[in-house]
Amino acid sequence: MPPAAKNGKWSSMSVPSKPRYSIGIDLGTTNCVLAYLDQKEPRRGIRVFALPQWESAESHGRFELLPSFLCALTAAERETGFDPASGPHPGPFPGWIPGLFARAQTALRPGRVVSSAKSWLCHGDIDRDAPILPWKSEEIPAEQRLSPIQVSSAYLACFKENWNRLMAADDPRAAFEHQDVVITVPASFDEVAQRLTLEAARLAGYPESLRLIEEPQAAFYAWLDEGRNLTQLAELLDRLPEKQARVLVCDIGGGTTDLSLFEVRAAADSPIGLALTRLAVSDHILLGGDNIDLTLAHLLEQKLLRGQGKLSGRQWNQLLAQARDLKERLLGDEAPEDGREFPITVAGSGSGLFGSTLSAKISAREVRDCIVEGFFPLCTATDRPRKSSGGLREWGLPFAADSAVTRHLAAFLDGQRIDAVLYNGGSVTPEALRARLTDLFGAWQEGERPTVLASDSLAMAVAKGAAKYGFLLRQPKGGERIAGGHAHALYLEVKQKKKGHSLICVLPRGMEAHETIVLSEQAFDLLVNQPVRFQCYYSARRRGDRPGDVVAWNEEEFHPLPPLQTAIHLPLDRPKPANNRLRVNLECTLNELGLLQLHCLEEGGPGRWRLDFNLRKSLLEEAPLTLPAAPLAAEGKAAEAQRLIQALYGKKLDPDFPELKPNQLLRRLEETLGSTRENWDILTLRGLWPTLAAGMTRRNRGLAHELAWLQLAGYALRPGYGVALDETRIEEAWRLFSLGLAFPDDKPALDHWHIFWRRITGGLNAQRQEKIYQKLQGQMQGGRELPQELVRLLGSLERLPLTVKQSLVKKLLAGFTRFKHREPYAWALGRLLARVPLYAGPDSILPPSEVEKAYRELAALDWRQSDYSSLIPLFVQTARRTDLRDVDISPQLRETLLAKLKESGARPEQLRVVRDCIPIEEADRVAQFGESLPVGLFLVTGG
């Protein structure tokens, strides 16, 4: 048995020989549920754990649903109530209350409430370990917010702590840590989101033996657990000539639409007389109850404002909470008549309490039409989801561009017939919606409606099924278990001679856990002794690809996982292989959690290297493959370039370069490397750093030495991130800050100092950027014009606190209008006020009101004059359209700015990004993140 978990770490305390309970947890977007089965008395059936929850600071009760909301208490609330000693345990984060109380606060103070953490957990474009929730909150300071992983962990910890209070108070063997625990995840979750779910559970102190199960499978297990349902399936098979049925599980919850297709056939050797196989799962579709809430809120906003403008962020959050409640009332069991009207009220932004209040009414019919026609419209079997970029973007989440669930269903089925359908999830609670979908399936099948497999509880089924699955894992035969293996096929990018980059299948869809595949018919060359990139893709759509099949990439079928950037170094006593290429085979294993492990096996040698995709430092249970920085191969041009640097900054002067002067270094390096510095690739640049770092303290040999060192070092490290091992390099470079300049009174030295830090600011965290800013403040006193490079450095500090950035923007605006050299001030303002930061996170974006203030101050100037032409790129950056509320400038300002830009001679492409929401171009991305690393694997034979 595995060790128990304590405080998020595994301990060696004794555990029972066999867990008593099988626990299933539905970690949902809207609600969480815990169900359990007593493995000593399985005939008592699966029960739902009634979780103690706070309803207010003074009252609490036990409830089967834990709403997936987390509220930050005020200082007064922390003092007056919510005592864990006399009430429910609130979880691991003091001052945060989950569940019913938090959900109730969404209408009163939404800026203090976290919701939809599960959707953030699977959002690949953010750092899910960063404290960003509550999203864009005006009430919670950035340093007090939580990450999506922490919020998910809070819900899980709440279950564990309260279970131990109630179920294990008199029996330590019943402690949560000693039980079989299964957590559900959408079938469409990729490997990253699965690992993050496991990380959240680890932080909550869950047992190491924890398992995951796909939510549609869990819903099917729950349905099968009802004995009468097996008879219904058997009767269905008898009516079908092929004696096998296809069952669609249609799970539409608060955050996702999760679709799975199963095959059921008779099997005499099965304990239940049936064999169950999962055939297919859908792509990840961020479409569910949250989308309905947002769409309803948009409709209500139009009514409140009569189509003129948008509500403020605070008002919008109030409206969103009312939209959520309205949806649940209208879709509930006792839905009101179509003609009934509901009042909507939002507090105004003015000083008058009543005079500024916004109010409107909406009828039940309007709400139903919005939901039915917007999310469940009638369509044909050949319709497909629209790819418009106009999808909901209110929370910065990548919601599905097309909100029509029916078109996503048509695309998933792709003409396949279904014989039965099992509905699950809160968004299909209304019988009318389920009937509408069933009728639509019938229309796609020439009038033959599929049999509806009725579920006893849409809200509890997933947790119950997870508990059942945990129980089945303990059974000797496990005959009721669903086969089908891994939901996705996985592919690795390889480089082929004359064919460019291709994908090779390393794990076929349907591979079962504990299986291992060795691609022995193919030979690969592994690039060693230098940083490389391994890119993995997954696909839920590809059928029939076998291990070793080489296929061409396309955007429709393949979805990237975060790349693994690493350097695999051979031992120093081993001869270096030709061209740093080592012949290997690939071994792919699916572990017991259903997660991919990939190994490179050296042919005829001892080398064995594990590639852990989608891992970050906080997720590693063991040291990553990324090793400390090492210079490029010490031979040829690279070695000669390093000797040139050592000649100036080594401990001793090199007699082979007696005449080398610091101001000649760059030119001599260009001659040695055979190209100008603009053409040096990223590996060449980073390869210069170890020698430069070693000579950091020997800049004091002369002013020219310091100037040359700062120029070359900043150039080699820019932009400070985006390349494997950059974190280590930035740690080394940060020593320079405390050392300071060797010649601090020299103006060229100061300029080079500012340029150096500007070039690598993207690699500096917020605390270090603040330290740089504090040190620069002394030079900003006196009201005189600042050095141009200092101004540019100030503008590059994107991670400064918002209050500091606001103050800095004010100073730079004054400098632009007052001083002669205006372009650096405009450049810095463009960076600080940008709607899309170059490297910082979304929390670094200043409110759009700051853009409006800047425009009011600069609008009267003639932007056509050369002195003010830099205002054009400034306001293109600061007005770039993102379609994100509280990020975009107002529609009125946008129209005014577009007119001003057009008359000032802005280019069409500049006007376009202000007028329309245009994704960042690939060229922009490359410019931000630096040159890509080479692919780590070459396909030599096979495929």
Mean pLDDT score of the chain: 85
Answer for the pair 521, 588: CB distance below 8 angstroms, yes or no: no
Digit-coded pLDDT (tens) for 547-600? 899 998 887 788 887 777 677 778 777 888 888 899 998 998 876 555 677 888
Q: How far is CA 164 from CA 9, 38, 173, 840, in A?
A: 18, 15, 10, 41
Q: Of 75, 78, 71, 79, nearest to 96 (Cα)?
A: 71
| pLDDT value at residue 512 | 77
CA-based angle 28:29:35, to the nearest 5?
A: 15
What the block records as the tokens of 328 is 């649940």
| pLDDT value at residue 12 | 35
| pLDDT value at residue 869 | 95
Q: Which domains does the chain have, with CATH numbers?
A: 5-214 (3.30.420.40), 227-454 (3.30.420.40), 489-617 (2.60.34), 628-764 (no CATH)
Element (H, E) at 21: strand 21-27
Angle between helices 788-795 and 766-776 (to 10 degrees): 150
Digit-coded pLDDT (tens) for 493-524? 998 876 666 899 988 887 877 788 888 888 89
| Secondary structure class of 834 (helix, strand, coil) | coil
Digit-coded pLDDT (tens) for 739-783? 999 999 999 999 999 999 999 999 999 899 999 999 998 888 777
User: CA-CA distance, 433 to 431, in Å (whole number)?
Assistant: 5
| Secondary structure class of 540 (helix, strand, coil) | coil
Partnered with residue 52 across adjacent β-strands are 62
Kindly tell me the burial class for residue 28, based on how many C-beta atoms sit within 10 Å of its own C-beta (0-12, 13-18, 19 or more).
buried
Digit-coded pLDDT (tens) for 812-840? 999 999 999 999 999 999 999 999 888 88
User: CA-CA distance, 251 to 285, in Å (whole number)?
Assistant: 11
User: CA-CA distance, 579 to 643, in Å (whole number)?
Assistant: 22
- Looking at residue 282, its amino acid is S
Which of 224-233, 251-260, 686-695 has the lowest average pLDDT?
A: 224-233
Query: Distance of alpha carbon 218 from its chain centroid, rounded?
Result: 25
| pLDDT value at residue 818 | 92
Answer for the pair 565, 934: CB distance below 8 angstroms, yes or no: no
Digit-coded pLDDT (tens) for 908-932? 999 999 999 876 654 444 433 334 5
- Looking at residue 130, its amino acid is A
Percent pLDDT > 90 in the chain is 47
Q: Of 82, 79, 72, 76, nearest to 106 (Cα)?
A: 72
Which residue reads 């009514």 in tokens? 303
Confirm whether pTM is higher than 0.75.
no
| pLDDT value at residue 556 | 77
| CB atoms near residue 521 (< 10 Å) | 11
User: CA-CA distance, 260 to 248, in Å (whole number)?
Assistant: 6
Contacts for 774 with CB less than 8 Å, ≥ 6 apart:
none
SS (H, E, C) 904-943: CCCCHHHHHHHHCCCCCCHHHHHHHHCCCCCECEEEEECC
More confident residue, 284 or 408: 408
Answer for the pair 484, 277: CB distance below 8 angstroms, yes or no: yes
User: CA-CA distance, 849 to 300, in Å (whole number)?
Assistant: 24
Digit-coded pLDDT (tens) for 355-397? 468 889 999 899 989 999 999 999 999 999 987 644 455 556 6
**Beta strand pairing call for 9-10 and 180-185:** unpaired
